[in-house]
Amino acid sequence: MRRMIPILSLAAAMLLCALRIEASVHQYTGQRFAAKGNAFVIHGGSEGLHSSTPGLNDSSPDHSFIRFENIVFQRPLDLSNFSSQSIHAVVFEVNDRDSIGGSAYGGQRAVCCSADLAKLGVCKQGQIIYRPATNNPGWPQVFGVSFDVDATDATLEPSSLQITKTGMYNLYFIHCDPRLKEVYVEGNSVWKNPTGYLPGRMAPLMRFYGFMSLAFVLLGVFWFSQYARFWREVLPLQNCITLVITLGMFEMALWYFDYAEFNETGTRPTGITIWAVTFGTVKRTVARLVLLIVSMGYGVVRPTLGGLTSKVMLLGGTFFLATEVLEIIENVGTVSDRSGKARLFFVLPVAILDAFFILWIFTSLSSTLNKLQARRLTAKLDIYRKFTNALAIAVIVSVGWICYELYFKSNDVYNEQWQNAWIIPAFWQVLSFSLLCVICALWAPSKNSMRYAYSSVDAEEELYKDDTLKLIKPSTLIPKDVRSSESDSPTSGNASPQSDLEEEKND
């Protein structure tokens, strides 16, 4: 215990130091425009925003708004010898996306006014195309600024947009001037919901992690009370379960504080996010390793893993590294409400390792069940059958949810279902917690815990059975017709000595 105090103190100090690392709601630090069709675009942010009551001022806590702060476009000095066309900041709700851009004669849709569209008189060549939304008066909102001759900076006028309609809002910086290809943007935009700075898609997750923290506390109270009562009967497996519960409690609490800090200040605490990601990754890795070694019968039908230990640890270490990288990319510094866009390069290794875990777990379970049935260890066999059923149900439910998740994302390309998107990550937390509860119920510390442990008696019985089978050798069976022919033959070696003597006397 004394050794743990310095470690915990160091972890707390690192957490407090990282607490104030700030990342603006949407910060722009030298992003450059990318060509999209005939326009040049920078994505400035996407968030689900709930409407606020009309007439509220910016200082009202229930005010919902998007505000531009110190947004400056800059270009190199050697490209400043001309006055440019306008650079626009376009804000629109996702359902009004068709009001941006247009096409001539039913051709390809363009954001910038082309020569063909200019001939039709619907726009001015070189300007972006937009028109008022039919069901959302006053939107989209378009702001413009241009470079003067010899000017290297163009500052967008600070402004604040009040949100009076709930929806998924998008901000794009757009220009149509090919001469401005080296322009980049600095500054930030602040987005706020009536309940705080959390994006609408993330806001329900703060409450969810609060409930999950409470659930882990309740599970911990049950488990630790049983652990304290029957500490003399605790198995190594139960120590592993204790570690998983502890990691889960830390993970849920850290995620809650991560979202709470973000919601209160409008800044994403990078340090807390990294800690939450790391605790979650360690928990997932340890949980999978526990499932695997339980399936192998560790501590139940075998005292050690033997030569498999190094393979199990290698698989666990690889899974930890792959998952940690993926989660950091997905979560650290993320302030936008767009669905996860992690590259397949990072997602695929985790999926393959998960599939390998599942295959190895069920293969090992089959072998362990056969051993328990052959040895007639009914108590251990019963608990392993329940464990197998729970695991099979969890895998079936997971496959079904993956199919639903693919369907959900394929039909929500523009994140229009942002108010329900939080359910997808929440489901995986609930499923893993439910499986953990089942395992805790099956292997809870009790006065009878040791009857599930591997014992020398089981080993002696197995050795005795093996030795008995080796000593009992089957006799060679002689066919009946062969025996009868041998008994009838006069030259048979089975003829009695008395008959031979009689024959000699007669001679």
314-349 pLDDT tens trace:
999 999 999 999 999 888 876 665 554 456 788 899
How far apart (Å, rounded) are the C-alpha atoms in residues 27 and 162?
Answer: 20
Residue given tokens 């919901």 in the structure block: 193
Long-range contacts (CB closer than 8 Å, 24 or more residues apart) made by 81-84:
81/149, 81/150, 82/147, 82/149, 82/179, 83/146, 83/147, 83/148, 83/149, 84/146, 84/147, 84/154, 84/175, 84/177, 84/179, 84/180
Residue 12 vs residues 5, 272, 275, 368: alpha-carbon distances, Å: 10, 11, 11, 42
Structure-block tokens of residue 502: 């009689």
> Which regions in the chain score pLDDT beneath 50?
1-24, 340-341, 459-460, 462-473, 475, 477, 480, 482-507
Q: Half-sphere exposure of 243 toward its Cβ, with a 13 Å CA cutoff?
A: 16
Global pTM? 0.80
Q: What pLDDT was estimated at residue 15?
A: 37
How far apart (Å, rounded) are the C-alpha atoms in residues 191 and 189?
Answer: 7
- Among 186, 162, 224, smallest CA distance to 30 is for 186
Q: Euclidean distance between the first and final Cα of the chain, in Å?
A: 104
Other beta carbons within 10 angstroms of residue 114's beta carbon come to 22
How far apart (Å, rounded) are the C-alpha atoms in residues 20 and 271?
Answer: 8
Residue given tokens 């017709």 in the structure block: 481
Within 8 A by CB and 6+ apart from 77, the residues are 152
Q: What pLDDT was estimated at residue 106?
A: 62
Helix segments in 266-377, DSSP class H: 270-295, 309-331, 344-375
Tell how far CA 298 is from the center of its chain.
Answer: 28
Pairing mode of beta strands 87-93, 65-74: unpaired
Structure-block tokens of residue 145: 């600024």
Q: What pLDDT was estimated at residue 17?
A: 39
How far apart (Å, rounded) are the C-alpha atoms in residues 387 and 384?
Answer: 5
Other beta carbons within 10 angstroms of residue 423's beta carbon come to 16
How far apart (Å, rounded) are the C-alpha atoms in residues 344 and 104?
Answer: 37
For the chain, give the number of residues: 507
pLDDT tens figures, 42-53: 999 999 999 987
User: Among positive and negative, which fits the CA dihedral 439, 441, 446, 448?
Assistant: negative
Residue given tokens 């973000």 in the structure block: 262
Is 220 strand, coil or helix? helix
Residue 424 vs residues 244, 345, 417: alpha-carbon distances, Å: 22, 21, 12
Other beta carbons within 10 angstroms of residue 327's beta carbon come to 21
- Among 20, 165, 155, 42, smallest CA distance to 92 is for 165
Structure-block tokens of residue 362: 């069920």
Q: Are 262 and 26 in contact (CB under 8 A)?
A: no
